[in-house]
């Protein structure tokens, strides 16, 4: 172990040297000491941690006490992160497939052989079919801006390959908010402590954004009412002052009802609307029939609750709505987010510090780091596909040219993307060359021709922004890469060399990339330097607390469209991020992270359960035209009649069919291909087996 680490530490040093910059010992891995870093997971909180290293091995990892969000606490997922780093199942060498695709049979090969093989295959595909036959697939396995794919993007753009539109998370909500606000920018979520009315709209804060819960509690202690709007009685809903358990997807009708009441009862300020919005008249005309009783019929929310919430939100200020991605995963997701963004707009909630809509803060740092400029200077892809359509793209005979090579990093499409059976059919094509860079042999990696071992967050350098607050962190490598694992960027430097891409932009070191991003002239970066991040580990962007981002905005209103998806089978299926110990598909293979009993369970409402003859623990078959799963049922009134829930994040081995919930989910994307899949517009049949 010790000599291994020493060897890799030396190779790390050589890599930095070969990138032409004097090595600053302080940012490389250490033999002993305490190193600051930040969580890489696709979680809004971006906690900052300290890793204790002894003899080249990480022996402790804990949340940084002086970070404003982390406040010394990580979470049940990441408290055991070192078990993941040191896990015996980590992939520590490149692997070449020896058995059938999906069998998991591999043999170790050297990096030189793996890179040469990828080069050979890519060159021959480019010569015969053109670069469009190569498809990279990546998402947010790490959300650090460096290892997420900055060099990957440059590499594939230089080859002129196809690309995916990375729209599974957040894009629909971004678009819907921008329809009203002109930009996806909301308020700083940490300003929610100022609010006196807070609506958590389709977000399970207590589970998915747990460090914001402290802020919500702070607001409540100061007198705020906390209202949750969700079709499921989540852990967050259980902690709310008021819970509106609406029919799935009926959010636009609820917003229409709230605005109707505000208008009817004279709670809106016509002068403010006239001066700051366009087409308020169109909006108000479209909600004219949305009376409390009609709204109750459309949403299931009692009429008196509609009236009470409308009055509270319009009069007890500051008033704010918080939302992430729950409602966006529907066919009408963009319209839902557009409606949600109208609520604080019609009341002029944006006038108060802490009032308005608090959503992802991604747009702030993308602008600060100039990531849009970085993207704009690259050649556009040969063609692009919404990533939700992977199964179709790999198997549809009309895909022209067909995809002959798939390169996956930072993602596990066999688990996370909809229409899983079709994806597996695609991944099993004998004439598809698949490379997967991974830490573990995921259900996707099992289908690879070549697996490349990837480092974990404590083994590489990165710049870690957050989408739930306005702090940025420097993630320093605490230990040398385990085994022969390499950071994503290093893999793309090697591939660039192999494919003759000699331009310096393909070979920038991770440190130079970070320095480059920090040298952007954006005012949000005032005072944030590489040196400061090395010293402190984190910094807040130069945005004053209480900033009102829409003081001068003219908002776009207009008619609301309350239509929702038509049922296609007796039950609607929702697939949530509901395990406190899961982060997307990352931890389902670790027994310590599993619930008791250690299986995914289908939640069925008591009324449906008695009609179906389902009892607690009964085995049921859940199926539709895309797939079928056999799971145990839990009779639960967290869901509502007609709505069943099966958790997301479990791997294929969690059911006898060898599939997980995305075998059932709906891959439909909006007509313009922009936005996420309608995961939750999924209809299923259920039978007891
Ligand atoms: N523990 C844990 N934390 C996580 C993750 C994880 O896997 N585990 N994943 C991370 C990621 S990638 C993300 S994007 C965030 C997501 O964070 P959230 O958006 O908070 O999480 P979701 O569970 O996707 O959806 C939130 C809620 O939306 C509700 N919902 C579904 N349909 C509708 C609807 O039509 N209307 C309304 N009003 N509500 C609806 C669901 O019932 C659910 O409770 O969480 C992050 N944090
Ligand atoms: N049914 C259903 N499906 C969903 C959702 C849902 O709520 N319901 N949520 C959707 C959402 S919001 C999201 S964000 C997506 C998440 O989709 P993904 O981003 O694909 O999921 P993750 O499981 O977070 O990460 C994927 C893999 O990245 C790997 N990884 C981590 N760090 C690195 C690294 O440095 N290098 C490399 N090479 N690999 C690394 C991890 O080992 C992990 O296996 O899923 C979506 N799918
Ligand atoms: S997963 Fe989220 S809450 Fe947990 S340590 Fe990472 S950033 Fe913090
Ligand atoms: Mo996500």
Residues 391-406: tens digit of each pLDDT:
999 999 999 999 999 9
Average pLDDT over residues 619-627: 98
pLDDT in tens, 403-430: 999 999 999 999 999 999 999 999 999 9
Residue 15 has pLDDT above 80, yes or no: no
Mutate to test the pocket of ligand 1, among 43, 176, 208, 576 (most ligand atoms within 8 A of CB): 208
First-to-last CA distance in the chain?
50
Instruction: Count CB-CB contacts under 10 A for residue 501.
Output: 17
pLDDT in tens, 358-396: 999 999 999 999 999 999 999 999 999 999 999 999 999
What is d(CA 181, CA 190) in angstroms, rounded to the nearest whole number? 20
* 3-state helix, strand and coil shares in percent for the chain, rounded to the nearest 5: 35, 15, 45
Q: Assign residue 554 a region: left if phi > 0, alpha if psi is -120 to 50, beta otherwise?
A: beta
Q: What is the per-residue pLDDT for 175?
A: 98
Which residue's C-alpha comes closest to atom 4 of ligand 3?
A: 75
Q: What is the per-residue pLDDT for 26?
A: 61
Q: Assign residue 357 a region: left if phi > 0, alpha if psi is -120 to 50, beta otherwise?
A: beta
Q: What residues does the ion ligand 4 have nearby, CB within 5 Å?
A: 169
Binding-site residues, ligand 2, Cβ < 6 A: 40, 42, 139-142, 147, 168-169, 325, 409-412, 416, 437-440, 442, 454, 488, 575, 577, 584-586, 648, 661-662, 665, 679
* Residue 491 CA, closest ligand 2 atom number: 38
Measure 266 CA to ligand 4 centroid, in angstroms: 39
Q: What is the per-residue pLDDT for 580?
A: 85
What is d(CA 491, CA 449) in angstroms, rounded to the nearest whole number? 16
Residue ranges in 130-209 assigned as alpha helix (H): 150-159, 171-181, 205-208
Tell me the whole-structure pTM to 2 decimals.
0.96
- Cβ of 648 below 6 Å from ligand 1: no
Q: What is the per-residue pLDDT for 394?
A: 98
Residue 10 has pLDDT above 90, yes or no: no
Ligand nearest to the CA of residue 168, numbered in listed order: 2
Instruction: Quote the tokens at residue 531.
Output: 């040196």
Mutate to test the pocket of ligand 3, among 47, 142, 361 (most ligand atoms within 8 A of CB): 47
pLDDT in tens, 221-274: 999 999 999 999 999 999 999 999 999 999 999 999 999 999 999 999 999 999
Measure 602 CA to ligand 1 centroid, in angstroms: 17
What is d(CA 435, CA 448) in angstroms, rounded to the nearest whole number? 5
Mutate to test the pocket of ligand 1, among 324, 574, 594, 642 (most ligand atoms within 8 A of CB): 324
Mutate to test the pocket of ligand 1, among 74, 148, 230, 326 (most ligand atoms within 8 A of CB): 326
- Cβ of 43 below 6 Å from ligand 3: yes
CA angle 297, 299, 303 (to 5 degrees): 60
* Residue 250 CA, closest ligand 1 atom number: 35
- Cβ of 78 below 6 Å from ligand 3: yes
What is d(CA 417, CA 414) in angstroms, rounded to the nearest whole number? 7
Which residue's C-alpha comes closest to atom 46 of ligand 2?
A: 416
- Cβ of 23 below 6 Å from ligand 1: no
- Cβ of 205 below 6 Å from ligand 3: no
Ligand nearest to the CA of residue 681, numbered in listed order: 1
Ligand nearest to the CA of residue 229, numbered in listed order: 1
Q: What is the per-residue pLDDT for 579?
A: 81
Please say whether the dihedral angle defined by the alpha carbons of residues 272, 278, 281 and 287, taken in this order, is positive or negative. negative
Which residue's C-alpha comes closest to atom 6 of ligand 3?
A: 39
Measure 68 CA to ligand 3 centroid, in angstroms: 14
Q: What is the per-residue pLDDT for 20?
A: 43
Measure 42 CA to ligand 1 centroid, in angstroms: 12
Residue 16 has pLDDT above 50, yes or no: no
Q: How far is CA 95 from the centre of its chain?
A: 28
What is d(CA 524, CA 78) in angstroms, rounded to the nearest whole number? 29
β 571-574/682-688 pair status = antiparallel
* Residue 584 CA, closest ligand 1 atom number: 7
Confidence of residue 1 (pLDDT cuts 50, 70, 90): very low
Q: What percent of the chain has pLDDT over 70?
A: 96
Residue 564 has pLDDT above 50, yes or no: yes
Residue 212 has pLDDT above 80, yes or no: yes
What is d(CA 303, CA 646) in angstroms, rounded to the nearest whole number? 30
- Cβ of 64 below 6 Å from ligand 3: no
pLDDT in tens, 661-689: 999 999 999 999 999 999 999 999 999 99
Measure 40 CA to ligand 3 centroid, in angstroms: 8
Q: What is the per-residue pLDDT for 565?
A: 87
Mutate to test the pocket of ligand 1, among 73, 78, 142, 202 (most ligand atoms within 8 A of CB): 202
Burial class (CB in 10 A: 0-12, 13-18, 19+), 7: exposed
Q: Which residues on neighbouring strands pair with residue 198, listed in sequence order? A: 226, 320
- Cβ of 491 below 6 Å from ligand 1: no
User: Under DSSP, is residue 371 helix (H, G, I), strand (E, B) or coil?
Assistant: helix
Residue 21 has pLDDT above 80, yes or no: no
Q: What is the per-residue pLDDT for 419?
A: 98
How many CA within 13 A on the CB side of residue 297? 5
Measure 141 CA to ligand 4 centroid, in angstroms: 10
CA angle 45, 49, 50 (to 5 degrees): 175
Residue 232 is classified by DSSP as S
Ligand nearest to the CA of residue 139, numbered in listed order: 2
Residues 6 or more apart from 153 whose CB is under 8 A from it? 375, 378
Residue 44 has pLDDT above 70, yes or no: yes
Q: Which residue has the tokens 């010992």?
A: 25
Measure 493 CA to ligand 4 centroid, in angstroms: 28
Which residue's C-alpha comes closest to atom 23 of ligand 2?
A: 585
What is d(CA 655, CA 632) in angstroms, rounded to the nearest whole number? 10
* Residue 63 CA, closest ligand 3 atom number: 5
Which residue's C-alpha comes closest to atom 4 of ligand 1?
A: 208
pLDDT in tens, 334-352: 999 999 999 999 999 999 9
- Mean of per-residue pLDDT scores for the chain: 95
Instruction: Quote the tokens at residue 177.
Output: 């908010």
- Cβ of 210 below 6 Å from ligand 3: yes
What is d(CA 154, CA 103) in angstroms, rounded to the nearest whole number? 33
Average pLDDT over residues 45-55: 98
Instruction: Give φ, ψ of 363 to 5 degrees.
Output: -60, -30
* Residue 417 CA, closest ligand 2 atom number: 47
Residue 431 has pLDDT above 50, yes or no: yes
Tally: H helices and E strands in the chain? 23, 27
Measure 195 CA to ligand 1 centroid, in angstroms: 22
* Residue 210 CA, closest ligand 3 atom number: 3
Ligand nearest to the CA of residue 143, numbered in listed order: 2
Measure 237 CA to ligand 3 centroid, in angstroms: 21
Which residue's C-alpha comes closest to atom 15 of ligand 1?
A: 208
């Amino acid at each position: 172990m010790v000599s291994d680490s020493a060897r890799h530490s030396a190779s790390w040093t050589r890599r930095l040297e070969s990138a032409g910059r004097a090595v600053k010992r302080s940012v490389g891995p250490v033999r002993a000491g305490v190193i600051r870093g930040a969580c890489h997971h696709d979680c809004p909180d971006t906690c900052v941690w300290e890793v204790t290293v002894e003899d080249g091995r990480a022996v402790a990892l804990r949340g940084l006490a002086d970070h404003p969000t982390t406040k010394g606490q990580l979470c049940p997922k990441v408290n055991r992160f070192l078990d993941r780093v040191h896990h015996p199942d980590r992939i520590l060498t490149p692997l070449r497939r020896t058995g059938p695709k999906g069998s998991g049979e591999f043999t170790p090969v050297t990096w030189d052989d793996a890179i040469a093989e990828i080069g050979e295959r890519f060159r021959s595909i480019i010569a015969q079919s053109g670069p469009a036959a190569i498809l990279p697939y990546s998402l947010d396995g790490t959300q650090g801006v460096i290892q997420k794919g900055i060099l990957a993007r440059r590499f594939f753009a230089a080859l002129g390959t196809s690309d995916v539109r990375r729209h599974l998370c957040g894009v629909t909500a971004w678009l819907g908010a921008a329809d009203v606000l002109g930009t996806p920018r909301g308020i700083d979520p940490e300003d929610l402590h100022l609010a006196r009315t807070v609506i958590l709209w389709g977000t399970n804060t207590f589970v998915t954004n747990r460090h914001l819960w402290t802020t919500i509690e702070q607001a409540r202690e100061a007198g705020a009412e906390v209202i949750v709007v969700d079709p499921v009685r989540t852990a967050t809903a259980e902690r709310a002052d008021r819970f509106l358990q609406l029919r799935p997807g009926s959010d636009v009708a609820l917003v229409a009802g709230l605005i109707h009441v505000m208008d009817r009862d004279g709670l809106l300020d016509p002068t403010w609307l006239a001066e700051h919005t366009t087409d308020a008249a169109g909006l108000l005309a479209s909600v004219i029939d949305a009376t409390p009783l009609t709204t109750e019929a459309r949403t299931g929310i009692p009429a008196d609750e509609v009236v009470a919430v409308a009055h509270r939100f319009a009069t007890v200020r500051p008033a704010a709505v918080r939302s992430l991605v729950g409602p966006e995963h529907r066919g009408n997701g963009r319209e839902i987010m557009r409606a949600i963004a109208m609520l604080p707009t019609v009341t002029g909630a944006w006038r108060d510090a802490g009032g308005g809509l608090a959503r992802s803060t991604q747009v702030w740092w993308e602008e600060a780091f100039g990531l849009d400029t970085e993207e704009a200077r690259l050649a556009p892809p040969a063609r692009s596909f919404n990533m939700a359509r992977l199964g179709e793209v790999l198997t549809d005979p009309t895909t022209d040219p067909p995809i002959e090579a798939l390169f996956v990093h930072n993602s596990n499409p066999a688990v996370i993307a909809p229409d899983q059976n079709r994806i597996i059919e695609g991944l099993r094509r004998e004439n598809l060359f698949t490379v997967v860079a991974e830490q573990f042999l995921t259900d996707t990696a099992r289908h690879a021709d070549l697996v490349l071992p990837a480092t974990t967050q404590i083994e590489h350098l990165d710049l870690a922004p957050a989408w739930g607050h306005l702090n940025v962190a420097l993630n320093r490598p605490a230990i040398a890469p385990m085994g022969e694992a390499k950071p994503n960027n290093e893999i793309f430097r090697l591939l660039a060399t192999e494919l003759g891409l000699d331009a310096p932009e393909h070979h920038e070191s991770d440190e130079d990339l970070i320095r480059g991003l920090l040298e952007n002239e954006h005012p949000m970066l005032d005072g944030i330097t590489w040196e400061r991040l090395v010293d402190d580990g984190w910094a807040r962007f130069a945005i004053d607390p209480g900033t009102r981002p829409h003081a001068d905005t003219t908002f776009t209103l207009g008619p609301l469209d309350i239509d929702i998806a038509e049922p296609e089978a007796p039950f609607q299926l929702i697939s949530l991020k509901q395990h406190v110990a899961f982060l997307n598909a990352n931890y389902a293979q670790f027994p310590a992270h599993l619930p008791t009993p250690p299986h995914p369970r289908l939640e069925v409402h008591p009324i449906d359960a008695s009609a179906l003859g389902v009892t607690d623990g009964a085995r049921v078959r859940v199926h539709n035209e895309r797939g079928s799963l056999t799971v145990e049922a839990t009779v639960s009134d967290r869901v509502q009649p007609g709505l069943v829930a099966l958790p997301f994040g479990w791997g294929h081995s969690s059911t006898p069919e060898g599939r997980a919930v995305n075998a059932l989910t709906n891959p439909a994307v909006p007509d313009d291909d922009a936005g996420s899949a309608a995961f939750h517009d999924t209809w299923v049949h259920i039978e007891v087996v």
